[in-house]
Amino acid sequence: MAKTATTTTGEKKTRAPRKAKAPLTTRENLSGLISTARKILRKDKGLSGDVDRLPLLTWVMFLKFLDDLEIVHEEEAVLDGKRYQSIIEAPYRWRDWAAREDGISGDELLDFISQEYAVRTDGSSGKGLFAYLRGLAGEGEKGSQREVIANVFKGVQNRMVSGYLLRDIVNKINGINFSASEEIHTLSHLYESMLREMRDAAGDAGEFYTPRPVVRFMVQVTDPRLGETVLDPACGTGGFLVEAYDHIAPQVTTPDQRRNLQRDVLYGQEAKPLPYMLAQMNLLLHGLEAPQITYGNTLARKITEIGHSERVDVILTNPPFGGEEEVGIKGNFPPNMQTAETTLLFLQYIMRKLRVTGAPVAGGSSANRGGRAAVVVPNGTLFGDGISAVIKEEMLKEFNLHTIVRLPQGVFAPYTDISANLLFFERGGPTETIWYYELPLPEGRKKYSKTAPLLFDEFDPVLAWWNSREENPQAWKVDFSAKRTAAFEAATPYWQRAGDARNAATALGKPIRELEQACQVAGNGEKATLQEQLRALKAEQQAFELTAKTAQAEGDALYWPIYNLDLKNPNAKAGIEHADPMGLIASMRTHEAEVMRLLGEIEALVAGGQA
């Protein structure tokens, strides 16, 4: 028996009453539930980290979400006296195989989910769950919810090897009420946290996730409005579309506007099955009941086929860095702009997809504004020459590239340490002035990292500057119109000389062919003379061709460098400690080339003096 505490006078010491335990909030409940589910997933030998665990948790939640949504729609149909057509039929609905805590488990559950044919929960034999869901593609209209479900499960595999642990997961997710708005709102934030963790753990899978502060900033300054169409052609996990939805939703005041936002405003496309599924779940959790996301490669269509009816008002996107496309994809772009580099192909697609001022739009009216875009690009896109410069020339001619925000290193760590930039442009060129804003690192920091990421508050100075622009230590402007005019005027005489020389070389083609024919039929006495004339003409033609090539190169050297948009902050303090290592290497190589050229000239002079 426990001893009773007493005072020195022998009286019993009274205990302070225990405080009643506060009930768990929805966030704590859901956070605990998800945390428990993830602990269960860690026990399974078939899963190797968050890259496997989150997709599995996602498809399980997806099926529960769909069933909760269907139950609501069924109840609404009954109240309206209408018959409801289920998207997923029995016995494949969540309520048929998952809702009972003591339902199928072990190998029976694994077989039902993954096998092509299996014994179903009603005792009959038929398609397994995944096989049935993938087969829904042929049972609905293009873009229907059935097609979406089929596309989601096209790339899904159940990697769990324990059907008993999978049953535990199913039971945990069954505790989420997806028809309760508070739970949905909370779960959407938890899901985004899991996406961040997956990005951090996934290596190259990080390409699917753009840091939320970057996304929020791009959406806020682009300011999509209700009634406009918004597209992310490389939507990954749907971050831009979610943020755009949250930005537009407060503008809704009527049921018709809500229907418009749900169905006719936000569009995306994703080529890979995993992010496609994650995006669908992300958008569903944030309140978009039927996400308009196309499954497939955005670049797999000739851009010349994109007409006015398919163009959009706003594009927000972060195309994959460093990707390369196959030869067949390159053929969908103009011959002078064909490249394997994914970012450059996406830039062309974005330019083509932006709405043209005055073009017809839905409802019979005309667009009163050109489409606008905010795009994440790596530094290489800014300084790239060759085809990259040709694409930028087109952009700066047809669009107004009004702002480039330069992000510090490490914003996309640990996926990549490549420095990135945000391009903001609008149809209706040519570009006159380009504003640059260099986002500084916080005081005392050398770069961002997984444990110390970029915060949205760090964009506050840019947001304050955006609508009242003045040059300052972080912001400067470039008179691109003046640069273009000066470069064009400087290059034109060389290009004219090159054109004249090319024409002269071409004009010699006919007499050369005539002499070649004459040589074939000439007698021995005349042949030698004709051959001498032929050699002289060919030498003259080659001289013209060399002149054309040299003059063209000299003109190009004066013109094309203006499309190197990788301009450093003129207000930054110069110093070797601040220099870009790649820039230093390039500078050293340039000096080395100059030294070798001078040595070559000296050698030639010495050799000439000794001759």
- Which tens digits make up the pLDDT trace of 469-509? 999 999 999 999 999 999 999 999 999 999 999 999 999 99
Query: How is the beta sheet containing 475-479 ordered, strand by strand?
Result: 292-295, 266-270, 230-232, 314-317, 372-378, 420-427, 399-406, 433-438, 475-479
Local confidence band at 22 (pLDDT 50, 70, 90 cut-offs) = very low
Q: For residue 424, what are its two tokens?
A: 């903001």
Q: Are strands 292-295 and 372-378 parallel, antiparallel or unpaired?
A: unpaired
pLDDT at 9 over 60: no
User: In this structure, what token pair is assigned to residue 507?
Assistant: 């004009």
Confidence of residue 539 (pLDDT cuts 50, 70, 90): very high
Contact 332, 288 (CB under 8 A): no
- Does residue 156 contact residue 273 with C-beta atoms inside 8 Å? yes
Give me the pLDDT at residue 287, please.
83
CA distance 472 to 536: 63
Greatest distance between any 2 Cα atoms in the chain: 145
pLDDT tens digits for 461-473? 999 999 999 999 9
How much is the pLDDT for 285? 82
Rounded CA-CA distance 531/505 in Å is 19
Quote the tokens at residue 170. Answer: 């199913």
Most confident among 120-124, 238-242, 602-606 (mean pLDDT)? 238-242
Do residues 438 and 406 lie in contact, with contact meaning Cβ atoms separated by under 8 Å? yes
Q: Is the pTM of this model over 0.85?
A: no
Q: Cα separation of 93 and 96, whole Å?
A: 5
Task: Please report, for residues 176, 180, 295, 513, the alpha-carbon distance to residue 184 in angstroms, rounded to integers and kept in the order given.
Answer: 9, 6, 25, 79
Mean predicted lDDT score pLDDT of the chain: 86
The pLDDT of residue 541: 94
What residue has token string 């000296």? Answer: 602
Arithmetic mean of pLDDT, 25-43: 81
Higher pLDDT, 4 or 158: 158
Residues 119-142: tens digit of each pLDDT: 888 888 999 999 999 999 876 565
pLDDT at position 268, please? 96
Q: How far apart are CA 396 and CA 311, in angstroms?
A: 19
Parallel, antiparallel, or unpaired: how do β-strands 433-438 and 475-479 relate? antiparallel
* Whole-number pLDDT of residue 487: 97
pLDDT in tens, 295-334: 999 999 999 999 999 999 999 999 988 778 888 899 999 9
Q: Give the residue-averaged pLDDT of 84-89.
A: 89
What spatial distance separates the first Cα and last Cα of the chain, rounded to whole Å? 118
Same CATH topology for 25-179 and 202-469: the answer is no
Q: What is the reported pLDDT for 360? A: 81
Identify the pLDDT of residue 457: 95
Looking at the predicted structure, is the pLDDT value of residue 207 above 70? no
Collapsing DSSP to helix, strand or coil, 270 comes out as strand
Under the banding of pLDDT at 50, 70 and 90, the label for residue 582 is low
pLDDT reported for residue 396? 97
d(CA 472, CA 470): 6
Neighbouring-strand partners of residue 315: 231, 373
Q: What is residue 104's predicted lDDT score, i.e. its pLDDT?
A: 94
Read off the pLDDT band of 8 (50, 70, 90): very low
Q: Write down the pLDDT at residue 383.
A: 94
- CA distances 18 to 5, 21, 291, Å, are 17, 9, 50
Residue 441: pLDDT over 80: yes
Q: What are the boundaries of each domain within the chain?
A: 25-179, 202-469, 482-574
Distance from chain centroid for Cα 58: 21
Average of per-residue pLDDT across 542-554:
95
Q: Identify the pLDDT of residue 578.
A: 47
Q: How far is the C-alpha of 164 from the C-alpha of 166, rounded, in Å?
A: 5
202-469 under CATH 3.40.50.150, yes or no: yes
pLDDT value for 343: 93
Q: Identify the pLDDT of residue 439.
A: 95
CATH (residue range 25-179): 1.20.1260.30
Degrees (nearest 5) of the Cα angle 173, 176, 198? 60
Gap between the Cα atoms of 540 and 548, Å rounded: 12
Q: Which pLDDT score is estimated for 446?
A: 83
Query: Of 571, 550, 553, 572, which Cα lies nearest the Cα of 561?
Result: 553
Q: What is the per-residue pLDDT for 188?
A: 77
Q: Using an 8 Å Cβ cutoff, are 460 and 410 in contact? A: no
pLDDT more than 70, % of the chain: 86
Q: Dump the DSSP string for 180-194.
A: -HHHHHHHHHHHHHH
pLDDT-derived band of residue 53, with 50, 70 and 90 as boundaries?
Answer: confident
